[in-house]
Amino acid sequence: MSREFALPGTRARWAPDRPIDVEHYRIAIELHPAERRIAGVTTVRARVLAPELRWLELDAVELEVTSVRDGETVRRFEHDGRKLRIDLGELRRTGAGVEVSIAYRARPRRGLYFVGPDPGYPDKPAQVWTQGQDEDSRYWFPCVDTPHAKATSEVIADVPAGWFALSNGVLIDDRTEGERRRLHWRHDQPHSCYLITLAAGDLITVEDRWRDVVVSYHVPRGREAAARRTLGRTPQMMELFSTRFGVPYPYPRYAQVCVADFIFGGMENTTATTLTDAILLDERAALDDDQDGLVAHELAHQWFGDLVTCRDWGEGWLNEGFATYAEYLWREHVEGRDDADVLLDEFADLYFAEDGARYRRTICTKHYDEPIDVFDHHLYDKAGRVLHMLRQVLGDQPFWNSLAHYLTKHRHGVVETRDLARAIEDATGRVLDEFFSQWILDGAGHPELKVAMSWDGETRLAEVKVEQTQKVEGKTPLFRLPATLRFRVDGADVDAAVDIDGSRHTFQVPLAGAPTQMIFDPGRTLLAAVDADKSIELWGAELAAATLAIDRSNAARALGKRGGPRALASLGTALVADRFWAVRGAAAAALGTLRGDAARDLLVAAVADEVHPKARRAIVRALGDFRASVTVAEVLAGIVERGDPSYFVEAEACLALGRVRAAQAPTLLRAAAGRDAFLDVIRSHAYRGLAEARDDSAIEFLISATTWGRPSQGRRAAIAALASLCKGRRDREAVRVRERIEELLEDRDFRVQTAAVEGLAGLGDAAAIAALERLAERELDGRLRRRGREVVRDLGERSGAAEELQRLRDELAALRATTVGLRDRLDKLEARPAASVEDTDAKAARKAAKRAAKVARRHHKKPS
């Protein structure tokens, strides 16, 4: 079973009391980029909720507060570096108004970030941007920093004259005086303060429209074409979501700004999303990539998260699950269900990996150290998949009606899971408490299903046996699952609905004739690990002709596990003939699993003929499974040398060339590492390829690739490659690599720090524990602290197991030496005349031999 999510010492966290209701923030702020400092005056207008209030308390971390005024009255205050307590001078009763203005200055380490050129990155643009989620707005203005406190806001930004500054709402004033520019933004709908934003720099504006709403894209100068290429489908997304969600886009404008070094992919600040500038597509990247998923995700938050907000972060799936599912909705709308189902499988894979390798938790939880801890694949990907199941349970129109009612009923409010459940009940009459209990509130994990399918020609019954095999322990329940069985009879699909509510079921379905397909859960709607047992003929027929592409892909994977001539033939046909690129890609992956000369030759032939870059990418990846093949090495070397129209195909060729351990890999991959590409994908895969080639001579090359001044994505990939190359080793080179990665825990690039933590986890050397413990003690991003603590725990456990194993080995060696000596003595004793009483030395020898055998058995059972 997976580990517990809560680390030792974790206590439950609840939404804090709200003695006041903040109604409005007015933030006047000066940005001084050269000195990396701010100066501001924030005015907080609120109404008292408590029976009486004398001291007003606000979150204000590392702000140097210089004065507090209540109108013209100077107020006494106390500030401990985290909480600002203001003496209102007298008791204020429930309903009384409060308005205070706080003057302060700061050099923020979180919440507000300065980026700009330095000797390592002389071309980096000078910019300032904020990131409030989860609770970091308190680092740049005093506030009640909790999602269940909503207020209107205005931001008056004083910036260098050549700069533009974006904030929430509408721009009501813009003036330049001398060397300073002042932009005044106002948002008149209440929102949580983590959504208050400011992004400033030398930015150019590209305008678009949706209905009567201005839609704008703000990017560094010279990137206008990339902005349209990357963000230009935003108005169509706004139309789709307005229709699907039953509530038109709720604000007067929508902006997206792309900034350097952003610490997330994107952030859904109300009316003004911030995105990393790394997503801006060039023409070559746009051949087989888009950033629609990210754009759709952040846009959907304008409804789910901004208009209606989770009451506390433990309920954060109500923000992130819906935004993740919106990625599917857009893909389904623009590309069709087959393409969208590939995305659903990716969501599942991300969740399964986290559940299996890190921890298992309920989607809703109050047990976390910092709110950022819950922003994981359970919150995003599992929750998105659960919403997809909810849609299937309700049916399309009841699902959309429920969302419209939920958004309308709780507009500008805060919500918990029970509010969604009650909204569904109001809109449809369906009481889904059991569904929310097992998937969201109380249940953790997922069903593991063993399915056996057969046909009885005499009774004309299709028999489907389903067994839930997951361990029912802790919070992992025996699931109740409405499911569908699909049969192909006389060329037509026949569906049967079944309800799985126990550990074992046998379903018998009468059919008019023998089925040529028998599919459990067509479309893979259930979030479940399914092991289906059926004949190779059925798998082959499903690969050839299943209605949904995701079912054909699943059949390809099953045939790759089965192997044999019939599997090879079916996969070879699908590789070149299936109408959908992802099925051809799944066939390629399965052929890679089969290996063998015939599978190899099919892939080599296909890579030259395949037109779709995503399918070609999968074929190249599969060629990497043919280690030591000269034929494959030549094909891959050719792609790496001459390049490919697709960045991603070329990158996969670099990695695959390393995996086949080609003799030419070290030289070609070093050359490829000099190529710039979108997201630095070629360089990153070349580094990984060097690690796969097990080329120790690459260690120095990879270490140099981690230095400040090299592209950030490549630096991170070089760390991962070094960890892979030296995993489990304790020699001099491995120690050198560990020490270098430990140094990078102090890097100025947050993402490099994150890569360093993962690199140390991959190395598996307990000597890194001290460095990771120092990291976890620092005041820094909670994601680093959380992951650092996990890796310290894991390395400690591995170290303990390794020490125990070594102790057993030492004990075994000593006992073997003792046994040899004792056997010699025993042989001598046995050569003497028999004695009436057994010699004590002989007894000792036999005991030692037995003990050695016992230790040997213990040693044999221990994992290495």
User: What does the pLDDT look like over 454-470, one tens digit per residue?
Assistant: 999 999 999 999 999 99
Report the distance separating Cα 804 and Cα 27, nearest Å.
59
Question: What are the residues whose beta carbons fall under 8 Å from the beta carbon of 222, sequence distance 6 or more?
Answer: 204
Give the pLDDT of residue 863. Answer: 38
Report the distance separating Cα 521 and Cα 531, nearest Å.
12
* Residue 187 burial (C-beta neighbours within 10 Å; 0-12, 13-18, 19+): buried
Report the distance separating Cα 300 and Cα 819, nearest Å.
72
* Residue 736 CA: distances (Å) to CA of 699, 700, 775: 10, 10, 19
The token pair at 843 is: 């007894």
Check if the beta carbon of residue 402 is closer than 8 Å to that of residue 394: yes
Report the distance separating Cα 176 and Cα 7, nearest Å.
52
Report the distance separating Cα 76 and Cα 622, nearest Å.
69
Residues with pLDDT less than 50, the chain: 805, 820, 827, 830, 833-842, 845, 848, 852, 855-864
Question: What are the residues whose beta carbons fall under 8 Å from the beta carbon of 316, sequence distance 6 or more?
Answer: 310, 371, 374, 375, 379
What DSSP state is assigned to residue 711? -
Number of H helices, E strands in the chain: 26, 29
Find, among 792, 819, 860, 826, the residue nearest to 8 by Cα: 792
Check if the beta carbon of residue 559 is closer than 8 Å to that of residue 543: yes
Give the pLDDT of residue 14. Answer: 93
* Residue 609 burial (C-beta neighbours within 10 Å; 0-12, 13-18, 19+): exposed
For residue 695, how far is the Cα from the chain centroid?
Answer: 30
Rounded to 5 degrees, φ, ψ at 856 are -60, -40
* Residue 490 burial (C-beta neighbours within 10 Å; 0-12, 13-18, 19+): exposed
Question: What are the residues whose beta carbons fall under 8 Å from the beta carbon of 535, sequence distance 6 or more?
Answer: none
Report the distance separating Cα 543 and Cα 571, nearest Å.
8
> Which residue reads 């992992």 in tokens?
476
The one-letter amino acid at 568: L
The token pair at 540 is: 């082959």
Give the pLDDT of residue 856. Answer: 43
The one-letter amino acid at 632: V
Give the pLDDT of residue 370. Answer: 93
Report the distance separating Cα 843 and Cα 827, nearest Å.
12
* Residue 782 CA: distances (Å) to CA of 54, 76, 504, 588, 712: 33, 33, 43, 40, 21
Per 3-state DSSP, the chain is made up of helix, strand and coil in percentages (nearest 5) of: 45, 25, 30
**Residue-by-residue DSSP string for 529-569:** EEEEE--HHHHHHHHHH-SSHHHHHHHHHHHHHH-SHHHHH
**Residue-by-residue DSSP string for 772-813:** HHHHHHSSS-HHHHHHHHHHHHHHHHHHHHHHHHHHHHHHHH
Give the pLDDT of residue 810. Answer: 58
Give the pLDDT of residue 780. Answer: 72
